[in-house]
Amino acid sequence: MTIALMLMFFVLLVTSASMAVYNILPDFDKLKLSKRFHDGLGAGRTTPGLLNILRIPILLFEDLAASLKMPKRRQEHDKALRALGLEQVVSVNQLIALRFALVTIFAIYALLLAGALPLLFTIAMPLFGWYYVDIWLVDKIRERKRKIKSELPFVLDTLTLSVEAGLEFTAGIARIAATLDPSPLKDELMIFLRQMQLGTSRRDALKNLAARTEIPQVNSLVASLIQASEMGSSIGAALRTQSEIMSAERFAEAEKRGAEASQKLLIPMMIFIVPAVMLIILGPTLISYVYGRGF
């Protein structure tokens, strides 16, 4: 418990110091990790909280990160940033600098507590700082995909009704995107519309949308729309088919989660509820048997 409290205190101290120094600096333009909230494609972006908190350490290590080649790691980070829609806000060098910043922070903390911590734990802390970026990226990508998948059926149903009512496909997407609350799906739709405005064909813009999201439902929708466009069939019919398929998949997923929930409830029920019920039912009988008198 003491180690955990000291770790929390150290993290809070580093966070507070970093944010205080950043807010005191008079020239914010010198910070490369700055408030570039609007990318070249016109969609709003904000830097993640972890990068905002560690702006100063990232800036200090960014030149070191830029001098390193690390081709495989750079390719992985570039793919992750595209999946997060942050390729125009956060650079690969800044992610690598974040790794060095976390390694340094955890190494300093491990050295400060070298006598109180086991040797294995002291060695593992800097390594955890290095690989934590991978864990953080995977978690962010998974959360973003979950949000897109949860919002996609509503958007698809609305788009289907709009197109079937006579609205052009791109105009329908523009109208829907204008009414949506800020979300990853809205960002992706805005990028799609911006690419169309810059002269990209609808086919290529749809393929880019599927490549960025890497979601099976989006891939299926894009393939269906491209096929309908090339064959000259109705886009409204393709949207209706995809909407029905997606509704069936959601229903099947709900049934699957319901079945899994009943199985997951079995373990806590056997551990906590069944013993309590048995105690209530058999308790008086056991007491009567032990003490030889009834109630």
Average of per-residue pLDDT across 263-291: 82
pLDDT of the residue at 260 = 81
Are 88 and 35 contacting, i.e. CB atoms less than 8 angstroms apart? no
Are 158 and 189 contacting, i.e. CB atoms less than 8 angstroms apart? no
pLDDT of the residue at 256 = 84
Q: Which residues contact 3 (CB under 8 A, 6 or more apart)?
A: 113, 116, 117
pLDDT of the residue at 137 = 92
Average of per-residue pLDDT across 239-267: 83
The predicted-structure confidence for 210-245, as pLDDT tens digits, reads as follows 888 888 888 988 998 888 888 878 888 888 888 888
pLDDT of the residue at 21 = 52
Question: Burial, 264: exposed, middle or buried (Cβ in 10 Å; 0-12, 13-18, 19+)?
Answer: exposed
Average of per-residue pLDDT across 128-149: 90
Q: Which residues contact 160 (CB under 8 A, 6 or more apart)?
A: 236, 239, 240, 243
The predicted-structure confidence for 159-190, as pLDDT tens digits, reads as follows 999 888 888 888 999 999 888 888 888 888 98
pLDDT of the residue at 136 = 92
Average of per-residue pLDDT across 258-274: 82
The predicted-structure confidence for 1-58, as pLDDT tens digits, reads as follows 455 555 565 656 656 555 555 554 444 444 444 444 334 443 456 677 788 888 888 8
Question: Has residue 81 got a pLDDT over 60?
Answer: yes
Percent of the chain clearing pLDDT 90 (strictly above): 7
CA 286, 288, 289: angle at the middle one, nearest 5? 65
Average of per-residue pLDDT across 239-253: 85
Average of per-residue pLDDT across 242-268: 83
Residue 292 sits at φ, ψ, to 5 deg, of 75, 25
CA 261/CA 209 separation, integer angstroms: 33
Q: Which amino acid is at 35?
A: K
Q: What is the b/e burial string over 72-96, where b = at least 16 CB atoms within 10 angstroms of the residue's CB? A: ebbeebebbbbbbbbbbbbbbbbbb
Q: Which residue has the tokens 């709900």?
A: 254
Q: Which residue has the tokens 């490369």?
A: 32
Whole-model pTM: value is 0.71
pLDDT of the residue at 41 = 43
